[in-house]
Structures are given as C-alpha cells and as structure tokens.
Structure 1
Amino acid sequence: MSIMPYSMIRAIIVVISTVVFHLGYIKESEWLNNLQLSMLTMMPIIINMLFSFHWSTRNKTPLILSIATNLTALMMVTGMFSNETTFYLNTSIPISIALSIIVNVIIEKISWRNEKFPNKFLLNMMLVVTPLISILFLSLAIKVLMPTNLSNAPKYISSLIYPDSYSSGMLYELARGFSWFLGIHGQLMFQDIGYEFIRESNINITQWANGTSHLNILNQSFYDVWCSTGGTGSTLSLLICLIFSRAKQYNKLIKTSLPLAFFNINEPLIFGFPIVLNPIMIVPFLLTPLVNYNIAYAATAYGVIEPMHNLVGWATPPLINSWVATGGNITAVALHISIIFFGALIYYPFFRIMEKITTLNIIDAIPEILPSSNITKSSLDVGLISKSHHLNELDEIIEAQLQIKKLTKSGDFILFFQPQVRVFDKKITALEVLLRHKGHDGKITPPYFLSHYEKLNIMPEMDFWVLENAISHAREKLTFLPGMTLSVNISPQTITDPRLLVIVDDLLRQGIPSGCYLELEITESQKISNPEKLGSIISNLQEKGVKIALDDFGSGYSTLSYLLKYQLDKIKLDRTLVNGLSLPHGGKFLNQVVNLCRTSCSNILIEGVETELEYTECVKSGIDSIQGFLFYRPMPSEEINKLLLQHS
C-alpha cells in the first residue's frame, strides 16, 4: 500500500508517454518510457526499504539500522547469483519481499528480547550481524546444494506460462491473478516475462505493418485491454458492484479506488475490500479475466473485431485503450463495454456473499463472565471488512485487531461497581457499572482498550455485553436498597443502534432487581452521529422506565444543545470541573455550570471528588450527588454487596 504513490506516478508517466507517442513525439515518448522502466527496476529496492520502515516502526527498532541491514542482505543475495556489474538493479520483487520478511522477523525476535542485552551497542550489533549471517549461510546453502536441473526451473516455468499461445495465455492470467491472492503484485512478479513479451509484440506489429508477417491475436495490448480493465482481475467490474450497492460503508472505498481504476491501478480495492487472502473473492477475481480472455479471443479469431495492432501503456484508461489499440474500431469499444458489465455479473453473487459473511465475530473478543448471556452470535457480528478497510485507516484497523487479540488472550473482562452518594445524607443512591480487564497475572486494567473497539466500530457489542451481564450480575449477586439506580454507560455508536431497544425490552421482560431502576449514561465527550434520532430513542427508553443520564458534561461536543433538546434524568459533571476548583474562580464557575444545568430540571452529580475541600465546594454549588474516591472507589461485586448489606 505504501508503494502505491510511486506506482501512481509511474502509471501517469506511462499514460503521458502513450499520448505523446500518438501525437508524433517519438523521442520524448521513448524518454518517458525509459523513465518508467527505470522506476520499475527500482521497485524491488523501494519495496525492501518500505518493508524495513514499517517493521521498524512497529517494533520500535532503529530505522536506519533496519533499512541498512535489509538493503545489505538484498545486495548480498543478488550479487551472489548474478555476474553483472550492475547486479543491484537485477533483483526481483519476490526475492525482495522474501528477504525483507526473513531479515525483519530475525530483527523482531532479537528486539523482543532486549532485556538480555543491557548494552545498547551490543544489541544493535546483534540486530545487524545475526540476520546478515543467517542470509549468507542460507544463500550459500542454496547455491551449493541446488541441483543444476533445478536451477533451470524458472526458465521451464516461464515457458509454460509464456503468453504467446491460447493455453499458455490462460495459465499466465491464472498465475498473475493468484499471486495477488497472496498479496504479491502479479505484474511485477512476472515482469521478466512481460519485458520479453512486449519486445516480441513490437516485432510482430512491425513485421505486420511491413507485410512480412501475420498479426498475432495475442500481444501485450490484448492482455492489458481485455484482462486488466481497472487492473488485474478486471476489478472495474467489482467497482461497479460497489457503486450500485446501497450500502454507504463503501463510499470511502469507492472514492479512493475509482480515480485510480481509470488508470488500471487497483491496489486500494484489492487490499481494501479485500481480495488478498480472501477465498471467496479470489474466485471471481480469477474467473472474470479468464472469461474476458475467451470472449475477446473468440471475437478476434472469428473476425468480429480486428487484432490489436497498436501497443498501449497498461495505464491507458479503459475504452480509450481498446480504441487506440485497434486503430479506432468502435466495435472493439462496444465489446469492451459489454465485457465490463458482464464481469460485474460474475462478481455480483460473490459480492453479495461477502456482504453477508465477511464479518468480525466478536464472541472471541468478548468472553463471557456469566453463562446466562443472551446475546446471540448473529447480534455479535459486524461488517468490519466492508465498513472499515479503506486505505487511509488500514494501519489503525490492523493495530486495533492485534491489540484486541492480545487482550483476549491475556485475561478476562470483569465488572466493577462504584457507588454514587446523595449529598444531604451521604446515602448510596446508585451504582455505576465499570468495565475492567483482569489479566491472568491478576493485574486490573481500566478500559483504555475501548478505543480499539471504537476503531473497529464494534462498541455496541461491548456495550450490549456489559448491559446484559451487569443486570444479570445485579439480579443474582447484589442486594439493592429501595429506589437505587443501576447505571450503565452507553457509547454514541450504541445509543442509535436499532438493536438497543430490542435488547432493553428483552432485559426488562426478564426483570431487573426489585426496587431498582435502570439508567443509561450517554457519553457526551464523544460526538453523536445522528442527534435527530437520539431524541426519539431517549423518549422511547424513558417510556419503558429507563432513566437517561448525560455523562462527562462539560468535556466534549454539543454541550448546551443537549440541555435544550433532550429531557434528561441526570447530568454528570466531568471531573475537570472538580480539578478547576483549585483555580481562583473555580468555585464560581462550578456554581454557574450547576445553575445552567438546573434549566433541564435534572439531578446533578459530579464525579472525581477526592478531598473534603472539593466536597465542601460542591455542596456550596448546589450539587445533588457525588461520585469519587472521597467516599468509595470502584470495587468488585463481592465487596460492593457487603457494603450494600451494611447500609440496608
């Protein structure tokens, strides 16, 4: 993905070269073509450096050290198997990728054990020397032990898929497409074959123009026009499926992919939908260009369209390339339009399958605390790939997935409870449910990890799990005082989720603890995506007997509009207002905020109170309830139940 800007620049140069050639500027076209070929030659080296950059960033190893080690390994191996003086320009994409993986994995393993190397210089020496020695011995072993006949294997494979005949052309397309399934650029993978085939195509067209040879059906333009419309896999057809889909989650992916598809660049679509390592989408990805291949081959063989007698750059936009390659044959353009939409019909059923089943199963990410969980598997599935895998968020998505995976392997989620105290008699009137993570080592972690769930758009699943288990836990293990409230936080993603009302109805039918009220705290510190819908949801919940509290008031978005738009049962002032009491006018400011909140006729609570002085100032301001370490810290259910029994 990182090399895509480089590929885009090269694609634009190819387009300009093609246009300049057809305008009659032959020398300028040749210069531009040599420039893009030079860029292609540098591609393995750039990929090697980019691998090093990303791996170094992830593992926090010295960047220069990582790049230097990787490049040295690449030069060492390339020079060992080449007799050319410019051997460093004679490497290949697969070798570059393979060496990058091997070298960076070794560096990663060593850096993870840095506690064994208290000397930083010694650690850096190990990071350089170990992978280079490993690559050296591996290369020597391959060179010495590889049989002579095995050394001819690449030539034999190239002869099988050399695309100058009908059957070998089919194999060539399959090989190019399947390499993408593994995340390797198919065109670059077989660039040596491509160079030779372009040369032969040019010779054949020149001989045909001179009347000394017939024109071959198969040439480089045939593959670029008919089999790579929108890029390898004819992915312009898939893009049409996305465009005609009603799902809004594809909008960013379409905006990113569509402009590039006009230059037959499809990396955002291949990684963003995705097709890489996707056993479902690889089927139409391979099938569509093969069908196009056969249709175009038959149409050419039976004289429906002329063989292509002009070579066009692979980045020449679709339809324009078929027009130019056939010398302005309108029938070829019409056929091109037809196979694009026919390809969309091939992609469509697989696209629909992906919409239904490409989901992240969050059951593994939210292990059960209580066996009575009623959240079904289907309610815990969200369309992660289709919603979120667009280019500009790919790194964050992958990192969030990795962090959640580590989290679920290292421990379990548990619930803590923190009392809320009424000011005038210091009586416990409510319990706030707080999510924690308990590691296998016993360490308790606050919910900093929730940002990863927000990034993956799966906060509703976490909220539903907390809501259901909090009520079940309270019903079975806690003794509530009459009129107490059980308060559960709900994220902005959850409050407008259509499943919320259904789940609340189900929980109310099961029953909540006798004499207890359910309260949902809306987090005000994050933006509500659909404020118009929020009002009707609040009213609906309140009609069911559910209280609504506004959490973190004064720390986020749309503060005053919340007081005007919505009927709230409680307003929780953010602890930043408590911190502000130490400032000269902090008490007056808090008093004004409380007066402002009184306009909504809500109960006012402030959180984060830790000292008697803060408590006194809060009482002076007219606050109704307090939550903070001055009275009670968050505690597990066993401790909170003992506390409630003491106050009963």
Structure 2
Amino acid sequence: MINLLNLRTRMNARFARYFSGRFNASVNALRTAIAQRQIVPFYQPFMDAGTGQIAGIEVLARWRHPLYGAVSPDAFIPLAEQHDLIVPLTHLLMQQVIADLQDQIHRFPVGTYICINISAQNCLDPGFEYDTRDMLSKFTANQSHVVVEITERHPLHFTPQLSNWFAALRQANISLALDDFGTGYSNLSYISALNPEFIKIDKLFVSQIGVSEDTRLVDSVIDLAKNMHLKIIAEGVETQAQADYLRRKQIDFMQGYYFCKPLPASELIHQVIAGGRVLVS
C-alpha cells in the first residue's frame, strides 16, 4: 500500500526545491525574514583527511521561506550585500549558532573549527568582532576555534584601519581563512596582508580531479599553501577519486557532498553523537 503521507511529504519537498530555485527575493521580504528570524544556519562538516573524523563545520545561511522552503544563499546573500543587510543578517546567524551549539559543543571533537563567512561589509564592524569573541567564549568547553572565512565576492581595500581590525581578531585567537582561493580577487598580497591560517581550495579546481589528467592548477595551489605553512581545506569534494587524490597530496581537510551535505543543527548533532564520523551521503 502506498504511504500517502510520505508521498505528500516528498512532493512538498520537490515543490519547495523547484520554486526556491526560481525565487526572486525582494529587499522588503529579506528585511522581514531577518526580523522574523527566518534566516537560519545550516552546518556542513569538513573532515580530517587523515582520520576521517569531523574536524570542523562551516556555517551556511538558509532562508526558511514560509512558501518556498529552504532558499539557497545564492538567492539572497548578494541582495543583502547590495542593500546593507549583510551585517544584521550575519549577527542573526551567529546568535543562532550559539543557541544551536552552546549546550552540545561538548559532544564535538576537541578543537573543532567553527567557520563563519563574512563579506567586505562585515569588516570594521565592531559588532562582528564582539559576536566572534562571544562565540569563542561560549564554546570553550571543547577548546573550539572560531575561523573567519574571507569571501572573494568583493575586493578588500587594505587600509591601516582594516589591517588593525584583522589584527584584533587574531589577537583574540580568531583564525582567518581565505575562501575560494584563486577564483576571485585574491592574490599573493592577500596572503601577506591577512596572514591567514587556512586556504580553501575552490571546488572549481577540485572538480577537475578525475575528469582531466591535467591537475597542475590544483597541485600548484596545494604546493603554494604548503610552502607558506598554511592549512588546506579542499571544497566541493564529490567523488572517491577526488578524495583519494587529495589524500595522496597530504592536504589537511576535505569538505563536500561526498562526505556530507549541509545539515540543520539537529541532524548535525545526531551525526556527531553517532560516532564522530559523517557518512558519505
């Protein structure tokens, strides 16, 4: 017998996914979403390449729209940046991360990295510096590390004031990661100015592994990071061939759908309780 309830649930999920991809957000709708706390964090783990254990989680924004379901950040983050809403949106997200994980952080491996994406507009915001310090203080139970990921959607103009702002983050034991390295505005001067602890290899490079025999680009990024003593996170790992190749290159961490998709807090914590490894999904 057909389970009509399960069938209806699957159809509703497909309906939401179909329309969320065609959803055109408006500024007023986004303001309402922030005010009503419809923007929520999802969490995508990244794995220690050597052990397979969860090493950290990246916080990703999702809009739980009352009609369209989970709306991808591609549909609303650019809008938030264009209309000066990214600062209140980031604050909301970070407060929710604390609420989600504060009482559960002891379940995670000691030293778990918690990565927060920021845009150029978050830089110099004193509220962001306060939020990161607050998060760090709340997660001291397992010696967690807060990592700020610098996105490349917009260029950074390195003034003395901005350099001091990043220096203050580092002095507070908040690490920096250069996200999507090699695909945007970043160059070697970014590494010099930011002094990051991590480089995240963009999925554009990772996707060529196993497809093309020419891996010079991804190899060059890995060699650069190693020569500069930077930890490496490979994003967008989707196949065993990619994972095996990156392990042979002895990178530090891997992230992607081969290991785990972004999860709401309850599912993430369930996975952690199940044994500290995220199963291939």
Question: Could you say which residue in structure 1 is the equivalent of 2:212?
Answer: 583
**What TM-score do the two structures reach when normalised by structure 2?**
0.79
CA drift of 1:496 comes to 2.3
For residues 262-411 of structure 1, the aligned pairs below 5 Å read: 400-404=26-30
Preserved CA contact (<8 Å) 1:421 1:427: yes
1:596 is aligned to 2:224 = yes
Question: Could you say which residue in structure 1 is the equivalent of 2:114?
Answer: 486
Question: Could you say which residue in structure 2 is the equivalent of 1:145?
Answer: none
Mapped partners of 1:510, 1:411: distance in 2: 21
Preserved CA contact (<8 Å) 2:40 2:96: no
Question: Could you say which residue in structure 1 is the equivalent of 2:183?
Answer: 555
Question: Could you say which residue in structure 2 is the equivalent of 1:296?
Answer: none
**Shift in CA distance, 438/512, structure 1 to aligned 2, threshold 3 Å:** farther
Question: Could you say which residue in structure 2 is the equivalent of 1:536?
Answer: 164
**Shift in CA distance, 523/615, structure 1 to aligned 2, threshold 3 Å:** same
Preserved CA contact (<8 Å) 1:489 1:520: yes
Letter in 1 for 2:237: V
Question: Could you say which residue in structure 1 is the equivalent of 2:246?
Answer: 618
Question: Could you say which residue in structure 1 is the equivalent of 2:83?
Answer: 456
Question: Could you say which residue in structure 2 is the equivalent of 1:465?
Answer: 92
Mapped partners of 2:41, 2:137: distance in 1: 23
Mapped partners of 1:615, 1:510: distance in 2: 33
CA drift of 1:460 comes to 1.5
CA drift of 1:617 comes to 2.4
Preserved CA contact (<8 Å) 1:418 1:634: yes
Task: Select 1:417's aligned residue among 15, 24, 43.
Answer: 43
Q: Deviations over 1:605-644 (max 9, x none)?
A: 1110101111122223332110001111111111111111
Letter in 1 for 2:87: P
CA drift of 1:493 comes to 0.9
Question: Could you say which residue in structure 2 is the equivalent of 1:77?
Answer: none
CA drift of 1:470 comes to 1.1
Preserved CA contact (<8 Å) 2:49 2:251: yes
Mapped partners of 1:426, 1:492: distance in 2: 33
CA drift of 1:441 comes to 4.5
**What TM-score do the two structures reach when normalised by structure 1?**
0.36
Mapped partners of 1:531, 1:634: distance in 2: 35
CA drift of 1:579 comes to 2.2
Mapped partners of 2:271, 2:70: distance in 1: 21
1:476 match: secondary structure: coil
Q: Which runs of 5+ in 1 are unaligned?
A: 1-398
For residues 637-648 of structure 1, the aligned pairs below 5 Å read: 637-648=265-276
**Shift in CA distance, 565/600, structure 1 to aligned 2, threshold 3 Å:** farther
Question: Could you say which residue in structure 2 is the equivalent of 1:351?
Answer: none
Question: Could you say which residue in structure 2 is the equivalent of 1:300?
Answer: none
Mapped partners of 2:170, 2:37: distance in 1: 36
Mapped partners of 1:495, 1:406: distance in 2: 24
Mapped partners of 1:555, 1:495: distance in 2: 21
Q: Deviations over 1:17-46 (max 9, x none)?
A: xxxxxxxxxxxxxxxxxxxxxxxxxxxxxx
Question: Could you say which residue in structure 1 is the equivalent of 2:70?
Answer: 444
Preserved CA contact (<8 Å) 2:56 2:113: yes
1:610 match: secondary structure: coil
Rg (Cα) greater in structure: 1
Q: Deviations over 1:298-351 (max 9, x none)?
A: xxxxxxxxxxxxxxxxxxxxxxxxxxxxxxxxxxxxxxxxxxxxxxxxxxxxxx
Q: Which runs of 5+ in 2 are unaligned?
A: 1-24, 277-281
Question: Could you say which residue in structure 2 is the equivalent of 1:522?
Answer: 150
CA drift of 1:529 comes to 3.7
1:429 match: secondary structure: strand
For residues 82-101 of structure 1, the aligned pairs below 5 Å read: none
CA drift of 1:583 comes to 3.0
More strand by share: 2
CA drift of 1:439 comes to 2.4
Q: Deviations over 1:47-66 (max 9, x none)?
A: xxxxxxxxxxxxxxxxxxxx
CA drift of 1:467 comes to 1.9
Preserved CA contact (<8 Å) 2:110 2:144: yes
**Shift in CA distance, 408/521, structure 1 to aligned 2, threshold 3 Å:** closer
Question: Could you say which residue in structure 1 is the equivalent of 2:103?
Answer: 476
Taking CA–CA contacts closer than 8 Å with sequence separation of 6 or more, which of the two structures ends up with the larger relative contact order? 2
Q: Percent identity, aligned pairs only?
A: 24
**Shift in CA distance, 405/535, structure 1 to aligned 2, threshold 3 Å:** closer
**Shift in CA distance, 579/472, structure 1 to aligned 2, threshold 3 Å:** same
1:570 is aligned to 2:195 = no
Preserved CA contact (<8 Å) 1:492 1:527: yes
Mapped partners of 2:100, 2:158: distance in 1: 32
Letter in 1 for 2:101: A
CA drift of 1:602 comes to 1.3
Preserved CA contact (<8 Å) 1:400 1:456: no
Mapped partners of 1:405, 1:502: distance in 2: 23
**Shift in CA distance, 409/565, structure 1 to aligned 2, threshold 3 Å:** closer
CA drift of 1:436 comes to 0.5
Q: Deviations over 1:395-440 (max 9, x none)?
A: xxxx852452575699822221111001111111001111111122
Aligned residues: 249
Q: CA RMSD in A?
A: 2.5
**Shift in CA distance, 647/500, structure 1 to aligned 2, threshold 3 Å:** same
Question: Could you say which residue in structure 1 is the equivalent of 2:279?
Answer: none
Q: Deviations over 1:508-544 (max 9, x none)?
A: 4555443322111111342114454343222221221
2:238 match: secondary structure: coil
CA drift of 1:481 comes to 1.4
Q: Deviations over 1:113-152 (max 9, x none)?
A: xxxxxxxxxxxxxxxxxxxxxxxxxxxxxxxxxxxxxxxx
